[in-house]
Structure 1
Amino acid sequence: MRDTIFISHATPEDNEFTIWLASRLELLGYKVWIDKKELLGGETFWETIESAIKINATKFLLVYSKHICYPNSTEIKAGIQKEIDFARSVMADDNLNDFFIILHMDDTGYDLFPGSRDLNQIAFSENWAEGLTVLQKKLIRDNVVKANFHDMDEAATWYLNNYIVKNPIVEKKELYYTNWWSVKSLPTSFFILRFTNEKQASTVASLNDGCLLVQDSNCITTFNKDLKVDIKDNFGTTQIKPVDIFEIKIGDLILGYEKESFPSHRDAENHLKKLFKRSLHSYFKSKKMFWYDMSNKNLAYYHTYSSLPTSKVKFDFPYRADVKSKTKNLIGKHLDVGKWHFAVSAKTALAPFVGFHLKSHIIFSKSGYQAIENKDIQHSHRRKKGKLMFNEEWRDLLLAFMKSIENSDGNIILSTSTETDIIMKPSVETFWSDFGYIDPKDWKRQELFVQPDRDDMDEEPELE
């Protein structure tokens, strides 16, 4: 049964890509054959290769680069030429459609050997992940069977155990930074004011324009129940009073309770999350920050030269008194597009800590202010800029961002329009681990891990 994807490549020049591809295909569920003995410096007998191609292979993939030729020559290396010729004969003898697929790795011409132009060619030269996406669609369209779990070659496991030796997980005490930003203190209660209809709620909301509140249909959620409700006109003063005022203790909400009538536990959670998000939006707005509407309708906040004239922020690492302060740019030049901005979006959560889940982004603008509206341009350049940014870089940018939004006294205080504001912790939560990971420094190794971008969906509505 033909159930194996055979990969032919130049050793050792294209080993890195070949092992990456084999591991990714196997993680997708396919059975893969690569010459592991040759990779480790051993000898693979031709009978083994011949059998794999003639009997087992459902696809023959050729890693097509300048390395399949002898140095400074257009002559194909003997071993690779032998595999090419044999694969083409098998394809012809067994009448196999689209059996031979070329994975084009660089700017090498399309005619290194006779007939190569007539074969399927998939571009991997710009981005490995994008090439893999095209290849995966081809395998699905051609109904290439996936392997039973016990039949898999475990190329991914072999790759991790035998090949990635530059950046292993090692035993060392290391401080990890999460994306969790917790509340230090907050009011004990919030209120849901329910009015007769939506128009009444809208009118009261407009009367309290400077107060922290969120309107949802005929309800207003706020920390301050004493809202302005008086409407004055030529005939006197009219009051728009709520028909119900629900006080919800935040501690009880976090512990959980059962209630069938409005507001249920789920209702109260959603109202509080929206109120928290509004308070953060108001804080960023007070800092003269800009925001960009992500494809999932969440907002990503970023500095411009109005809120951060120098574009630089100096910050310190916690628990590292012996280390000098570090400086990071949160705005910078990017190719011919204009400027890049480090941005943060936030999702409110109440457990296991009350606070926000933060997500880091890169936003692009022409002049350092208004973000480019074209989503395709944003996506394309986010990939180009972000694909070589690993854990250390993202960590430092986030720490610099947190430092940049502090008040002059070093605090981050979200107004509640009451005597008790929301005081945030100065930075994200951290934890210690007995194991660590060394970030890749070589861009070729970093390219292994490039994955298509996607924005996590957020059910919370956008803020205007």
Structure 2
Amino acid sequence: MRDTIFISHATPEDNEFTVWLASRLELLGYKVWIDKKELLGGETFWETIESVIKINAVKFLLVYSKNICYPDSEEIKGGIQKEIDFAKDVIKNETLNDFFIILHMDDSGYNLFPGAKDLNQIPFNENWAEGLTALQKKLVRDNVPVTDIHELDEAAKWYLNNYLVKNPIIEKKELYYTNWWSVKSMPKSFFIMRYKNEKQANKVAADNENYLLVKDANCVTTFNKRLHTKIIDSFGNTSILPYEVFEITISELLQGYEKESFPSFRDAENHFKKLFKRTLHLFFKNKQLYWYDLSNKNMAYYHTYTSLPTSKVTFDFPYRENARPKTKNLLGKHLEVGKWHFAISAKPALSPFLGFHLRSHLIFTKSGYGAIDDKDLQHTHRRKKGKRMFNEEWRDLLLAFIKSLGDSEGEIILKTGTETDIVMKPSLEMFWSDYGYFDPKDLKRQELFIDDEREDFIQEQE
């Protein structure tokens, strides 16, 4: 019975992706075969590979990157070519639905070997998780057999035991930091002002550009309902007034309400989130932070040497007695590219806390200011640097970033244009757990690098 997914890849260059993919597929319930002996420096006999492809494989996955070719050459490496040719022979001799699938890892052309462009290709070059989702849909559609969905088989066990960490989850009291950044206090209400037409709303927004507001169609949303606009016509000055003003309290927004007419709860939620997001954007802008447009139309905000001249931030850990403060760089030198910058994007949310759901990013610049336009280059260096960063470092960078936003008193105040501003908490939401683990350190992770990556890592540390 064909029940095994065979993964062909270049060793050692694509080892990390291959074992990541194998472990994820097995956690999803699929039976996977990868050449673990070769990964560990041993030797696998061709008869074993041939048998798996010919008899057991239901899918042949090729990790498709420039690494399958010899350096500075368009010739496919011997071992890879042998597996490709044998998979093609299997297809000729048997009727198999989309047996050969290419996992496209980088910007390589679509025809590294004859017939490659005619095969099913799934993109993994932008995001591994998105590629896995697309691959899983394909496997489900083609009825690839699965076992118990949480059973760890050979590749997953090998990955967890030999490639990640050898420290299991243990019982210990440990404080965990979330990526939720909550509101400490804010105005009790906000207002949705509805005008007769969009032209009037545009005029009001333009004439009150110094106020915090957002315009959507013929509506203007603000914390301050005392907006003013006058137009001059042949009869003198005439004020533009909204024909409806809706005051919505934050408490009823958080509790929810039922209403069929405008503004429904969904209307109120959408208008508030746009206003809340605009408030944060203006705060970052006034702090002289730069921002980078992400592919999901969100923005990642980062410090430069203007907003953070020393590049360093010193912060304390909550609940730690007699703990020394810690200092982190939020930007610095990165190889030949120029500079790296820690950045965050923020998504407004009403639950589980009123505040922002934060995501961490790495942005690269040549001069320390404007981001490099080449998205592929950004992606390449994001993976190159990010793969060496563990949970502890991401946590510390995020804590340092939040700390960097405070004023001289440590307060983080988002101006609303009213007597009551939005005050954010000076740290992230946290919770205690009865279980924990030991995070691996960078020196141990270096053992997993191939030689040129290890040299890059050492260069960055210097």
Give the structure-2-normalised TM-score.
Answer: 0.73
Residues 238-247 or 223-232, more deviating: 223-232
Match of residue 31 from structure 1: 31
Q: How does 1:414-433 map to 2 (within 5 A)?
A: 414-433=414-433
The answer on whether the counterparts of 1:194 and 1:242 sit within 8 Å (CA) in structure 2 is: yes
Match of residue 154 from structure 1: 153
Amino acid at match of 1:372: I
Q: Name the SS of the counterpart of 2:423 in structure 1.
A: strand
Match of residue 77 from structure 1: none
> CA separation in 1, counterparts of 2:170 and 2:416?
46
CA gap 1:37/1:359 in 2 versus in 1, 3 angstroms: closer
CA gap 1:18/1:424 in 2 versus in 1, 3 angstroms: closer
The answer on whether the counterparts of 2:20 and 2:159 sit within 8 Å (CA) in structure 1 is: no
CA gap 1:395/1:230 in 2 versus in 1, 3 angstroms: same
The structural deviation recorded for 1:258 is 0.7
The answer on whether the counterparts of 1:212 and 1:222 sit within 8 Å (CA) in structure 2 is: yes
> CA separation in 2, counterparts of 1:346 and 1:307?
19
The structural deviation recorded for 1:39 is 12
Amino acid at match of 1:414: L
Amino acid at match of 2:445: W
The structural deviation recorded for 1:214 is 0.9
Q: How does 1:276-291 map to 2 (within 5 A)?
A: 276-291=276-291
The answer on whether the counterparts of 1:26 and 1:156 sit within 8 Å (CA) in structure 2 is: yes
> CA separation in 1, counterparts of 2:285 and 2:166?
44
Match of residue 2 from structure 2: 2
> CA separation in 2, counterparts of 1:30 and 1:219?
52
Give the structure-1-normalised TM-score.
Answer: 0.72
Amino acid at match of 1:178: T
Q: Name the SS of the counterpart of 1:149 in structure 2.
A: coil
Amino acid at match of 2:168: P
> CA separation in 1, counterparts of 2:223 and 2:437?
44
Match of residue 364 from structure 2: 364
Q: How does 1:235-250 map to 2 (within 5 A)?
A: 236-250=236-250
Q: How does 1:202-351 map to 2 (within 5 A)?
A: 202-231=202-231, 236-351=236-351
Q: Name the SS of the counterpart of 2:418 in structure 1.
A: coil
What is the percent sequence identity of the aligned residues?
A: 66
The answer on whether the counterparts of 1:440 and 1:446 sit within 8 Å (CA) in structure 2 is: no
1:443 aligns with 2:445: yes
Q: Which runs of 5+ in 1 are unaligned?
A: 41-46, 64-80, 104-116, 121-126, 449-464
The structural deviation recorded for 1:19 is 6.2
> CA separation in 2, counterparts of 1:237 and 1:327?
58
Amino acid at match of 1:351: S
Amino acid at match of 1:390: F
Amino acid at match of 2:345: S
> CA separation in 1, counterparts of 2:276 and 2:62?
54
Amino acid at match of 2:397: L
> CA separation in 1, counterparts of 2:145 and 2:294?
38
The answer on whether the counterparts of 2:174 and 2:432 sit within 8 Å (CA) in structure 1 is: yes
Q: Name the SS of the counterpart of 2:254 in structure 1.
A: helix
> CA separation in 2, counterparts of 1:440 and 1:159?
17
Deviation digits for residues 43-69 of structure 1 (CA, Å, limit 9, x no counterpart) = xxxx99998677535578999xxxxxx
Q: Which runs of 5+ in 2 are unaligned?
A: 41-46, 64-78, 104-112, 117-124, 451-462
> CA separation in 2, counterparts of 1:380 and 1:18?
17
The answer on whether the counterparts of 2:165 and 2:440 sit within 8 Å (CA) in structure 1 is: no
Aligned length: 407
Amino acid at match of 1:281: H
> CA separation in 1, counterparts of 2:261 and 2:61?
62
Match of residue 383 from structure 2: 383
Q: How does 1:84-233 map to 2 (within 5 A)?
A: 95=93, 146-149=144-147, 154-155=153-154, 158-159=157-158, 166-231=166-231
The answer on whether the counterparts of 2:183 and 2:424 sit within 8 Å (CA) in structure 1 is: yes
